[in-house]
Structure formats: structure tokens, C-alpha cells
Amino acid sequence: MHDTKEQEKQLREAAIKAAVDYYNFKHKPEQPFAPGKRISYGGRVFDEREMANLIDSSLDFWLTTGRYAEKFEKEFAEFLGVQHASLVNSGSSANLLAFMALTSPKLGERRIRRGDEVITVAAGFPTTVAPIIQYGAIPVFVDVALPTYNVDVTLLEAARSEKTKAVMLAHTLGNPFDLGAVKVFCEKHGLWLIEDNCDALGSRYFHQGDWHYTGTLGDLGTSSFYPPHHMTMGEGGAVYTNDTTLKRLVESFRDWGRDCWCPSGRDNTCGNRFTQRFGELPYGYDHKYVYSHFGYNLKVTDMQAAIGCAQLEKLSGFVAARRANWQFLRDGLSGLADRFVLPEPTENSEPSWFGFLLTVRKEAGFSREEVVNHLERKGIQTRMLFAGNLIKHPCFDEMRQSGAGFRVVGELKETDRIMNDTFWIGVYPGMKPEMLEYMVATLKEFAAR
């Protein structure tokens, strides 16, 4: 037996070493940057540790959620300073589960029902809003404010009605929205708050005398681990909360809607697997096959979680690099404030930037299309601020024609401005100083022409 275990250990170590050698051969060599070479807006940053974890996990051949997922959930929650973190297969799934948890009958009168309203914005990514619509609740759109590109909190009271049950907002490109004002509003009216933190992992907000990571001040927070984000598992996401009831609801919806909370591969954690009655089922029906919700299977694989564990060790460094890169661009482009609206961090915040936003001013002498095309020709990748104005997209055509399904408060004037005049460039940790210098020089050259 001892010889068998020792042989297994040696073979595992050899497999991992081979993977590390492959990383050093294939992935580690870096090509020097030359002007005109493609500068991506984002990308994965990894080393041999991710490769070693991935191979180590694959050798177990457990494949579904397992020991690395448990390790990541524990360490991620500790990083954020929350009690619970639940891994899922994407940031979009994280938003879906955070919202669906609030529809559970177990929440009584506070549950969100079909026809209830949720305050949000249209200037963002669609999966912040999609769960609301897919469930049958009503999104209520308010405008945003520049130069933070976040919700205009002065419009919240006007947006509220007797049907309002929640606020669901994203921290735009890493810049926290005014959490102080939004929390006061939610607490005043007994509303749920979901923070879509997918673009802002590592951002902080000063509240009630202390710094807090964004995503932790609301009832629920969400993250995405897609490759361009602050850390990656390839695909993956997380929902986090300090509320144990909400944590169990999230995991029920994530795990097929089951009532049982036993970890994958374990039985009878509660000791009452065959001694309870549920609904109209016979007494003692196997608790592992009792369903309290209409759920999904949105778990992450253990191989993804293994990569995440290695990435989590680097997260603080990733955040610091993003902040430094953003500040380099902000300082370097300060002389173009007459041509562009330059981004500003929200008061009382310390952003972990996802990108560098620029809005072309009317008096700039050029259009967004012209500057974007110039940057792309020069090898600098650009992106729009996601949907721009979500309700102008084809997916809203039928809803608009029917006159039902969503509400708009006031004019979405700044949202439309973003749709027409705003774009962003990257600040991800893989950028070299000469890339940032080239980006600044290219924008200055274009503006000077």
C-alpha cells in the first residue's frame, strides 16, 4: 500500500513538472512590444502555478465541483470579508442566481414576484437586467451621470413605486456607484440591493468609517471570472453574501433547485436524510431528491476552480496594476480634457478599474467613429460601454411595441450620449509601460490633427 501511494505521488509530481516545463516552453516567452502590434483591451495573465493546479485537478478526474472549489469559496470569501461565497459557471449565471434567490417563497412578503419592479440602468451589460425580465419582473430604468458613468442617485426616489422591491446595479467598469446614497435609499424603503461587481473586483468604497470591497455592502454581490476580468477561470463566477439564508437559496437555485445542502459527493450531512416530510411526498422521502425551487445546474468544474485558486493569489497585484495603468492614462491624457470627457472615480471610492472610458465632446472636432477607427488601425483595441442604451437594442423591440415590460423614468439623456459618443481602452495587468505610452501618444497625435 505504501509503495502504491508513493508511486502515485511520484507520477503526479512528474505530470505537474511536465506541465510546468510546457508552460516555460510555450507560454512564458514574451515578444517585445513594437508600435502597431495589437494591444488588447484585456486578457488573461497567468504563470506556471495555474498550469500546475489545472493538471493536479485533472489527475483526480473528479471533473465537477470538488476540493478546489471548496478551497476557492473559502479563500475568496476571506479576501472579500464576507461569510459566504458560492462558485458558479459564469458572471451571467451569478447575476441570475442572485436575482432568483430573491424570488424564493422562503422570503415571505419580501420575495420578488412577477410584476414587481427593480430599479436599474440601461447603460451597461445586458445580463444585469436580463434576470429581471426573464423572471417576469419589471426593470425601471434611470439615467446615469458623467464622468463616473454610474447611476444618477438623485433619480432614485422618482423611480420608486409601490411595486418596487429591489435595486440591481453594476459598478461601471470598476468605478463604484454611490453606495452610500443607494444603501440609504434601499434601507429607507426596505428594498433588496444586488451589486453586480463583475467589472469591479477589488474596488473599495468608504462607508460608515471603514473601507469595504464592492459587492459586500449590498444583500448580494456577483463576480465574473471570464478571461478579460480581474481574475479568470476561463469561465466562472461567484455570488457572495453575509446572509446564510440567501446563501442557501443561491445554492438551491444553482444545484437543480434542491432542498438538500449536502456538498457534491456527500450524503446525509444533516443526519435527517430519510426522516423528514416535504410537500405531498411520503414521509422519509430521500432529502437529496426534494426540490424547493425550479432551479438550474450552474456549478463550476473543479479544474476551473483550481485555476481560480492560483489566480486569487495574484489578485491584489492585478488590482494594483490596473490602478497604476489607469492613472498613467489619466495623467497622460489630461491635456485632452477639451476633446474628451475624462473619467473620474466616484467620491469615497478606490476603483479597481476594468478599462479607461473616454467620451468625445461635441466641440472635439471629430466623432467617436473617427477616433475609434484610428485607434483600431493603429492596433489599439477598443470597446463600447457595452449596450450603450440597452432599450435601443433589438431584444427590446417587442417589449417597446407592446408598451409593457419596462419603465423609463425621465429622459435617458446621458445614457444616449454614452451610446453615441463613448468608448474605452484597456488597463489590464498584462500591459507593458511602452504599450501605455503608445496609447497616449496615438490619442494625442490624433487629437492634434
pLDDT in tens, 95-107: 999 999 999 999 9
What was the pLDDT predicted at 1?
59
Q: What CATH number should be reported for the domain holding residue 97?
A: 3.40.640.10
Mark out the alpha helices in 115-173 (DSSP H runs): 130-135, 156-159
- Grid coordinates representing 216 are 459586500
User: Which positions are catalytic?
Assistant: 229
What was the pLDDT predicted at 10?
95
Same domain, 216 and 102: yes
Same domain, 392 and 282: no
Tell which residue, 422, 416, 419, has the closest CA to residue 361.
Answer: 422
51 found inside a domain: no
Whether the per-residue pLDDT at 201 is higher than 80: the answer is yes
Same domain, 160 and 252: yes
Percentage of residues of the chain with pLDDT beyond 70: 99
Same domain, 93 and 240: yes
Whether the per-residue pLDDT at 196 is higher than 80: the answer is yes
Tell which residue, 341, 353, 338, has the closest CA to residue 420.
Answer: 341
- Grid coordinates representing 308 are 481560480
What was the pLDDT predicted at 407?
95
- Rounded CA-CA distance 204/346 in Å is 10
Arithmetic mean of pLDDT, 323-340: 98
What was the pLDDT predicted at 261?
77
38 found inside a domain: no
Same domain, 66 and 89: yes
Q: Of 259, 281, 304, at which residue does a domain stop?
A: 304
- Rounded CA-CA distance 358/173 in Å is 12
β partners of residue 118: 139, 166
Same domain, 391 and 421: yes
- Rounded CA-CA distance 330/356 in Å is 8
Same domain, 296 and 317: no
Same domain, 401 and 262: no
Structurally, the chain folds into a number of domains equal to 2
Q: Of 304, 331, 360, at which residue does a domain stop?
A: 304
- Rounded CA-CA distance 259/132 in Å is 23
Same domain, 289 and 341: no
Same domain, 112 and 192: yes
206 found inside a domain: yes
Arithmetic mean of pLDDT, 173-200: 98
408: buried, middle or exposed (CB in 10 Å: 19+, 13-18, 0-12)? middle
Same domain, 243 and 372: no
Arithmetic mean of pLDDT, 351-360: 98
Read off the pLDDT of residues 158-171 as tens digits, 9 standing for 90 and up. 999 999 999 999 99
- Rounded CA-CA distance 172/429 in Å is 19
β partners of residue 355: 426
- Rounded CA-CA distance 249/226 in Å is 24
Which amino acid would we find at residue 240?
A: Y
Question: Which residue range forms the structural domain that includes residue 347?
Answer: 312-448
Q: Are 132 and 120 in contact (CB under 8 A)?
A: yes
- The one-character DSSP state at 283 is T
404 found inside a domain: yes
Arithmetic mean of pLDDT, 153-181: 98
DSSP 3-state helix, strand, coil percentages of the chain (rounded to 5)?
45, 15, 40
Arithmetic mean of pLDDT, 129-157: 97
What was the pLDDT predicted at 262?
76
Whether the per-residue pLDDT at 30 is higher than 70: the answer is yes
Same domain, 415 and 291: no
241 found inside a domain: yes
What was the pLDDT predicted at 122?
97
Question: In this structure, what is the dihedral angle of CA atoms 81, 236, 45, 55, given to the nearest 10 degrees?
Answer: 110
426 found inside a domain: yes
Q: Of 304, 326, 355, at which residue does a domain stop?
A: 304
Q: What CATH number should be reported for the domain holding residue 338?
A: 3.90.1150.10
413 found inside a domain: yes
- Rounded CA-CA distance 239/251 in Å is 9
What was the pLDDT predicted at 431?
95
Read off the pLDDT of residues 87-141 as tens digits, 9 standing for 90 and up. 999 999 999 999 999 999 999 999 999 999 999 999 999 999 999 999 999 999 9
- Rounded CA-CA distance 165/187 in Å is 11
pLDDT band, very low/low/confident/very high, at 267 (cuts 50, 70, 90): confident
48 found inside a domain: no
